[in-house]
Amino acid sequence: MEEYIFNPVIHLKDKKMPLRDATLIQLAQKRRLYYKICRECGSRNAPTAEKCRKCRSYNLRWKKREIKR
């Protein structure tokens, strides 16, 4: 399941994705709402990330939002 975290297709096209991938959408939504953001460069990181994958900074903050549906 971890490989879906940074799938750019899901992030960019989840609004247009057909309903047949409802499970995938749900997963993507969850992943999209629960991740860490680097305070240094602003890039998204995995929920399990200890440090930024771009600038290697440990200055990460949680991104948490409620699902609006």
Binding site for Zn ion (CB under 5 A): 38, 40-41, 52, 54-55, 57
Considering the complex, what minimum distance in angstroms separates the CB of residue 39 from Zn ion? 8
Q: What is the DSSP string of 1-67?
A: -GGGTT-HHHHHHTTT--GGGHHHHHHHHHHHHEEEEETTT--EE-TT-SS-TTT--S-EEEEE---
Question: Of the two residues 14 and 40, which places its CB atom closer to Zn ion in the complex?
Answer: 40
Residue 29 or 57 with smaller CB distance to Zn ion: 57
Complex with Zn ion: residue 13 or 39, whichever CB lies closer? 39
Taking the complex as a whole, the smallest distance from the CB of residue 5 to Zn ion amounts, in Å, to 16
